[in-house]
Structure 1
Amino acid sequence: MDAFTRLDAKLAPLPLANIDTDQIIPKQFLKTVEREGLAKGLFYDLRFDGDGKPRPDFVLNRPEYKGAGVLVAGDNFGCGSSREHAPWALMDFGIRCVVSTSFADIFYNNCFQNGLLPVVLTAEQVQALMDEAKGGNHLVTVDLEAQTVVSPSGQTFAFKIDPQRKEKMLKGLDAIGETLQASGDIDLYEMKAALSKPWLENA
């Protein structure tokens, strides 16, 4: 998992509440366990019409938001089923941070396991970012170490995050990576167990 420290990127506004995981990545794109290639399905029904043609009015199809790395969205982002493909699709598209007033619990947890930073701000702060993102300057800075989001106009919004999750994001550690940090202790335990209970080796 890539570490997340500071991100300077375009900010794209998606002023919709209750965006569920089926809208983020529809079910027909869940046939793979690979994390790559899912960008094509991100917000598919919002990005494309019934003929598969891009909708020019959808924010991520507009040229000024091309390459956006931060998404600011409405309340309760990521609700619905617990598909891990949702953060995978966002990251494969190039989005490393989503800002909202709230997230569904399972989606929120999945974000941290995959290197996507979910940032919770107040409704007023989210609206301010929405308004600025619709203007001519779309560059925003997300600083995980400082726990701040700096808007295009320079407004600074502080956010809270669990210290353990913050540390793992800064180091790029998922659950497996965190476990591997203790590989020396694990090896030592297994060696002692093999010596004290040799019959287990032949079980």
Structure 2
Amino acid sequence: MQPFTVLESLGCALPAANVDTDQLIPARFMKEPRSVGYGQFLLYDVRHDEQGAPDPEFILHRAGANDAEVLVSRRNFGAGSSREAAVYALVDYGFRCVIAPSFGDIFASNSVNNGLLPAVVEEDDAERLLTALGDHPAEINVDLVEQRIRVAEVDVPFTVSPVWRTKLLNGWDDIDMTRQHEETITRFAKDYARKFSWASPQPPETNIISKG
């Protein structure tokens, strides 16, 4: 994965609470292979009418939204089912960070595993960021090193799990995290095999029957 340190990009405001995974990608689109690009399905029913016509007033249809890499929303973002496709839709659209006061647990975990930062801010700070961004994509700075977010004059802190922060800063997945302890794991395995040799499977003895 691409390391995440400091992100200078455009941010979009999505002033809605409880944006669940079915809103992020409606279930009917999940039959499509990932190769088609799930970004086109992101928030599809929210930003289109019943006939499938795009709402020109929706933030993702504003000029510059295609270049936005940060989405700011309200509490309980990513609630609902555990579908990882919701994260795929955000990542395929181009987002690298979602900012909200709280996230669905599984959604947040899936986000980190796909290089998407779930940045947790206080509710008051989320409202300040939403106001600063307004109705059009605007410049935003997300600093994972200092754990701060800046939009114009607004400067707020955010939190993220220390383990997740390490993974994102280095672009590591779970296997990479485990490899950081390779020497300790190897040493433990050798000591264990020596102390409990009886527990290790042994090759069967070969019985040779001679014919006289």
TM range (shorter): 0.7 to 0.9
Q: How much has 1:155 moved relative to structure 2? A: 2.2
In 2, Cα distance between equivalents of 1:141 and 1:186: 39
Instruction: Give the unaligned 5+ runs of structure 1.
Output: none
What's 1:171 paired with?
170
In 2, Cα distance between equivalents of 1:30 and 1:150: 35
TM-score, normalised by the number of residues in structure 2: 0.82
Residues 115 and 135 of structure 1: CA distance in aligned 2, closer, same or farther (over 3 Å): same
Q: How much has 1:47 moved relative to structure 2? A: 2.2
If you compute each CA radius of gyration, which structure gives the higher value, 1 or 2?
A: 2
What's 1:22 paired with?
22
What's 2:105 paired with?
105
Q: How much has 1:199 moved relative to structure 2? A: 7.0
Q: How much has 1:5 moved relative to structure 2? A: 0.8
Q: Residue type of the partner of 1:171?
A: N
Q: Residue type of the partner of 2:103?
A: F
Q: How much has 1:177 moved relative to structure 2? A: 2.5
Q: How much has 1:75 moved relative to structure 2? A: 1.4
Aligned ranges 1:64-79 → 2 under 5 Å: 64-79=64-79
What's 1:61 paired with?
61
Aligned ranges 1:190-201 → 2 under 5 Å: 200=201
Aligned ranges 1:150-161 → 2 under 5 Å: 150-151=150-151, 153-161=152-160
Q: How much has 1:161 moved relative to structure 2? A: 2.2
Q: Residue type of the partner of 2:173?
A: D
> Considering only aligned residues, what root-mean-square deviation do their CA atoms show, in Å?
2.8
In 1, Cα distance between equivalents of 2:45 and 2:136: 27
Task: Using the aligned pairs only, state the percent identity.
Answer: 39
CA deviations over 1:58-106 (Å, ceiling 9, x no partner): 1101114331111111211101001111111101101111111111111
TM-score, normalised by the number of residues in structure 1: 0.86
CA deviations over 1:2-38 (Å, ceiling 9, x no partner): 2111111111011111110000011122235647611
Instruction: Give the unaligned 5+ runs of structure 2.
Output: 205-212
Judge which range, 120-129 or 153-162, deviates more.
Answer: 153-162
Equivalenced residue count is 202
